Copies of this chain bind each other. A is one copy, B any other.
């Protein structure tokens, strides 16, 4: 099973600098409950909502915001968080909202900027589902063939479109198979570098799994490796595991088992809620204590089984 939290630098288009169409109509804005700015767009749709103190704190003028570094130039002595709105004006020309504050400050926000940051519940939901992370697809054993996606190594490495599809399959189904990679030890690193960078662990950046005498890790043993979750003893876990089979076992065996732990957890939550609660609430001591090659480690981590 693969953990599904990972960085998605390349996965989605920018949520911040997204362009909206540049129609020029009057924005209508009002204050609700004294503190919430409600913006009605001329083309209809649900009104945008912003707490006024949040707009004051996120003023985009050159004194308040450093555009080159995309950083707020916070100065708690300067900003009056109690400042109220004196007047709001929607602009014909710029499709923007201008706010005059009682502390004699003026802020201008473009419609595109506001749309991306809208606090209205439907837009926050849209951001989560469409921009932030794709929704997981849970799968049972019977669905395995339907959710399995297979990619060609060369396509992933050379075509950005395929790279995106591969990353989406990892985010949505939690796994995929990459075929026809060359039989050399650089393949894992090539794939990792194509996404970002390798997250090092106490086993180093890469980890060679093979049968070893005097094995100090269960993965090095000749016996079948049962279903397991990797790395529960790390505070700091890899997000994606990339496994590259370099030498296929000539004996019987050598096949892989995989299950969707999130599916199992969800099934447990629904069918055995009390047992689910125990696994969510009971801290367990995970450890990996030993040696690998020249390196000794003593990793302990305390966390519930379902987290």
Contacts and interface: CB of A to CB of B under 8 A. Distances in A.
Interface string A223-249: 100101000000110010000000000
Contacts of A10: 298
Interface stretch (A25-33, A146-154, A212-220): A212-220
Contacts of A17: 289
Contacts of A70: 287-290
Contact of A16 (B14, B66, B235, B289): B289
Number of copies: 2
A91 interface: no
A226 B64 CA distance: 13
Contact of A5 (B75, B132, B235, B300): B235
A77 to B, nearest CB: 10
A302 interface: yes
A128 B200 CA distance: 27
Contacts of A290: 69-70
Interface in A63-105: 66, 68-71, 73-76
Given A6-B235, A7-B299, A73-B223, 15 more contacts: A8-B300, A14-B298, A16-B287, A16-B289, A66-B221, A68-B215, A70-B290, A74-B228, A132-B300, A197-B200, A199-B199, A199-B200, A199-B236, A235-B239, A236-B236
Given A9-B298, A202-B196, A71 B14 contact: no
Contact of A71 (B68, B198, B214, B218): B218
A297 interface: yes
A121 to B, nearest CB: 13
12 contacts: A5-B235, A8-B300, A9-B297, A10-B298, A15-B287, A15-B300, A66-B221, A69-B218, A70-B288, A76-B226, A198-B200, A236-B239
B9 A299 contact: yes
Contacts of A302: 128, 132
Interface residues of A, number: 51
Contacts of A69: 215-218, 220-221, 290
Given A200-B199, A226-B74, A218 B15 contact: no
From A71, A132, A198, name the one whose CB has the most chain B CB atoms within 10 angstroms. Answer: A71
Nearest to A71: B218
Contacts of A197: 200, 202
